[in-house]
Structure 1
């Protein structure tokens, strides 16, 4: 079997089963595990899967840069943003993460809402600025251009001095076993800091993020309060999270 044929087989199996076990594929194809592991390394290098011990899981397309992510699930993110905006109550202090879904939250807030929003994303702060009843606190730090958010020690210190009622957490991957992941270690650390300072953490996850994994763990699913997903998703996509005991809200 040619290398290209093996890789096509691997990707089809990953799409079908949601995971790849290197030993099982090697036995199925009558090839060595070393050969399959080499294929997995090369496919991971192309961003087509995420290697884990013994095999691979689907890689999240949401690790692309901000401009590219704007074209991923635009309708789904709008739906999630609208649902999240309705969860905000007057007088609350809200942590709002960076990213395209967070901008949709800002755009769908009640125009008459009076609340305080804290964000480490300049883009999100600009989107919030249109709401005259909202106080906007912008967390500073080193700008991580990939996601247009502040990271580093300065950001972490500022976050530690704030207590929020609610944190809308953005992720690139949500996996029932692995947990919540993203593509940068410093960004993951800031997300953990925000979650620690919030009374409630809500994850907004569009379809392409569910069942996918990125390189850096933010936290286990058990550490969040609610996972908000699109109401139109098939139940086989939702079942693993329900079986894991995650509280799910449908947008």
Structure 2
């Protein structure tokens, strides 16, 4: 089997099974485990999978630049955002993470909602600037350009002084083995800190994020209160969330 054929098979297996274990896969193909590990390294370098101990998981496609992601799956994001907006109660203090789906959430808040929104995303703050009943607390720091959010020591210090009722977390992957993940270690640390300051964490997840993994862990699935997902997804895609005790909210 040619290298290109082997790599294509690896990606098909990941798409079908949601994971690949190097040793039995190499035995099945009659090649060395080192050969498969080299294939996995090369595919990981291309961003096509996420390597883990002993094998690989599907890579999240939700790691493109903010401007690119903004134009993807807009209808699905609007649907998720509309359902998520109903979770916010009047008078609550809510932290809105950065990300294109949360931008849609900010746009979709009811005009009569009275609440406080804390965010480290200038994009979110701009969307809420004209909302008549929402007070906006903007957290500053070093701008992480990929996600258009503030990170670093200044952001962490400000976040540590806030307690919020609800945190809408952005993420690039949710997988039963790796939990909730993202593509940058500093951003992961900030998200983890916000979750610690929040009574409940909610993730809005388009279908491409379910069963996918990125390099840096934020939280185990069990520490997420709820995940808002698209309707009519296969139950096998949602089973790991439910098994971890996560409330699954389908955006019907």
Normalised TM-score (structure 2):
0.97
Displacement after TM superposition at 1:226 (Å): 1.0
- Match in the other structure for 2:193: 193
2-side partners of 1:168 and 1:68: how far apart? 21
Displacement after TM superposition at 1:73 (Å): 2.3
Displacement after TM superposition at 1:131 (Å): 0.6
Unaligned runs of 5+ residues in structure 1 are none
Q: Which is worse superposed, 106-115 or 65-74?
A: 65-74
2-side partners of 1:201 and 1:13: how far apart? 32
Displacement after TM superposition at 1:166 (Å): 0.7
Deviation string, structure 1 residues 77-105 (Cα, Å, up to 9, x no partner): 11111111111111111000000011011
- Match in the other structure for 1:17: 17
Q: Which is worse superposed, 208-217 or 222-231?
A: 222-231
Unaligned runs of 5+ residues in structure 2 are none
Displacement after TM superposition at 1:25 (Å): 1.4
- Match in the other structure for 2:129: 129
- Match in the other structure for 2:67: 67
- Match in the other structure for 1:29: 29
Normalised TM-score (structure 1):
0.97
Q: Which is worse superposed, 76-85 or 211-220?
A: 76-85
Report the number of matched residues: 251
| Mapping for residues 101-250 of structure 1, pairs under 5 Å | 101-250=101-250
Displacement after TM superposition at 1:112 (Å): 1.2
Q: Which is worse superposed, 146-155 or 197-206?
A: 197-206
Give secondary structure in 2 for the equivalent of 1:116.
strand
- Match in the other structure for 2:95: 95
Displacement after TM superposition at 1:232 (Å): 2.2
